[in-house]
Amino acid sequence: IAGITQAPTSQILAAGRRMTLRCTQDMRHNAMYWYRQDLGLGLRLIHYSNTAGTTGKGEVPDGYSVSRANTDDFPLTLASAVPSQTSVYFCASSPDSSGANVLTFGAGSRLTVL
Amino acid sequence: GQNIDQPTEMTATEGAIVQINCTYQTSGFNGLFWYQQHAGEAPTFLSYNVLDGLEEKGRFSSFLSRSKGYSYLLLKELQMKDSASYLCAVSDSNYQLIWGAGTKLIIKP
């Protein structure tokens, strides 16, 4: 089934540890995104990639990094996790980065930093 | 700054009609989206409006007024499975999506 796969589904992490959230899509979409979702707030964009080999910073990029070595994969890395990074993380993709594109979301990764 | 406002929570009765409003102030406008998100799940696309007027899709309709910075999502013949959060998002001048915090819709029998 075409879509986006995220891993892990859930993780508890000690503060200061490094963590990579994985995201893979099989729809050959050019654009990919990482969002975090916190109670009472809208989805906030962390980083994005309009095409393989390029990345850009979103609204809340500090403490996170991404890479886009190929079309399918878009991992998100927390270099040194802090409790404020406790959140649900959604990876999403769209055919391209123009305004009319519908986003397809992964199932999410729930991260708790203690 | 850019801002999307929608009610935090609404309650409606099974079989009834509910209207969820969204007002926005953004730098530029390249369309407005509505997504549905069931608890613990990912958002899924419902509708897209870029021109003024009403778009109907089955039991769901979405309306846009660009001059008023206003949209609504209309849900008819409510079913229990419609209990979810409804997210309004606007594509700004840079084609970045600005998201509202979502409206949690509770359906009662």
* pLDDT tens digits, one per residue of A48-99: 999 999 999 999 999 999 999 999 999 999 999 999 999 999 999 999 887 6
Going by C-alpha positions, the residue among B108, B103, B101, B62 that lies closest to residue B84 is B103
pLDDT for A1 beyond 70 = no
Residues of chain A found within 8 Å of residue B48, distances taken between Cβ atoms? 100, 102
Angstrom distance (rounded) from CA A29 to CA A14 = 34
> Does A44 touch chain B if contact means CB atoms closer than 8 Å?
yes
Residues of chain A found within 8 Å of residue B91, distances taken between Cβ atoms? 99-100
Amino acid at A84: S
Mapped onto helix, strand or coil, the DSSP state of residue B82 is: helix
How high is the pLDDT of residue A66? 98
For residues B9 and A100, the model is more confident at B9
Rounded to the nearest integer, the mean pLDDT of chain B is 96
Across the interface, whether the CB atoms of B101 and A42 are under 8 A apart is answered yes
Residues 75-104 of A with CB under 8 A from B: 90, 97-100, 102-104
For residues B1 and A18, the model is more confident at A18
Number of Cβ pairs < 8 A linking chain A and chain B: 51
Angstrom distance (rounded) from CA A100 to CA A10 = 31
Mapped onto helix, strand or coil, the DSSP state of residue B65 is: strand
Structure tokens that stand for B55 in this block: 């778009």
Across the interface, whether the CB atoms of B102 and A107 are under 8 A apart is answered no
Q: How many CB atoms lie within 10 A of CB A79?
A: 12
Structure tokens that stand for B23 in this block: 């007002």
How high is the pLDDT of residue A42? 86
Nearest-Cα residue of chain A relative to residue B3: A42
Peptide bond into A8 cis (omega under 30): yes
pLDDT for B23 beyond 80 = yes
How high is the pLDDT of residue B83? 98
Q: Is residue B2 very low, low, confident or very high in pLDDT (cuts 50, 70, 90)?
A: confident
Query: Do the Cβ atoms of A74 and A68 come closer than 8 Å?
Result: yes
Angstrom distance (rounded) from CA A33 to CA A49 = 6
Angstrom distance (rounded) from CA A16 to CA A73 = 25
Structure tokens that stand for B30 in this block: 């390249």
For residue range B47-97, what is the model confidence (pLDDT) as tens digits? 999 999 999 999 999 999 999 999 999 999 999 999 999 999 999 988 889
How much of chain B exceeds pLDDT 90, in percent? 94
